[in-house]
Amino acid sequence: MFAKGFVRSYARSLGLDEEDAMRRFAVSAGTFYDKHEERERLRQQQVEDERKRKANRKAVIAAAGVAVLGLVLLLTREQGSVSLMRPADPAKTGREADRRGKTEIPPGEHAAKPQASAPAAPTPAQSGKPASLPTSSTTSDPLAGLPFDGGASTEAGLVLALEASELSWVVVQTDDASPHEALLRPGDRLTWKAQEKFALTIGNAGGIRGELNGKPLAPFGPKGRVVRDIVITR
Q: Work out the mean pLDDT of the chain and round it to a whole number.
A: 75
DSSP state of 63: H
To which H or E segment does residue 181 belong?
strand 180-184
pLDDT value for 196: 92
Q: For residues 71 and 83, what is the distance between their CA atoms, to the nearest angstrom?
A: 18
Confidence of residue 130 (pLDDT cuts 50, 70, 90): very low
Q: For residues 205 and 171, what is the distance between their CA atoms, to the nearest angstrom?
A: 12
Please check the confidence at residue 161 and state whether its pLDDT lies above 90: yes
Q: For residues 202 and 195, what is the distance between their CA atoms, to the nearest angstrom?
A: 21
Please check the confidence at residue 129 and state whether its pLDDT lies above 70: no
pLDDT (tens digit, 9 = 90+) per residue, 13-56?
Answer: 888 888 888 888 888 776 776 677 778 888 889 999 998 989 99
Longest dimension (CA), the chain: 149
When mean pLDDT is compared over 73-77, 88-92, 107-111, 169-173, the highest value belongs to 169-173
pLDDT value for 92: 61
Q: Compute how many other C-beta atoms are within 10 angstroms of the C-beta atom of residue 43.
A: 10
Please enumerate in sequence order all residues whose Cβ is within 8 A of that of 177, keeping only pairs 6 or more positions apart, or say none. Answer: 125, 126, 127, 129, 131, 132
pLDDT value for 166: 94
Q: Which residue has the higher pLDDT, 170 or 129?
A: 170
Q: Which residue has the higher pLDDT, 168 or 32?
A: 168
**Cα torsion for 132, 138, 144, 150, to the nearest 10°?**
30
Confidence of residue 6 (pLDDT cuts 50, 70, 90): confident
pLDDT value for 112: 42
Q: For residues 95 and 101, what is the distance between their CA atoms, to the nearest angstrom?
A: 10
CB of 164 within 8 A of CB of 186?
yes
Average pLDDT over residues 170-197: 93
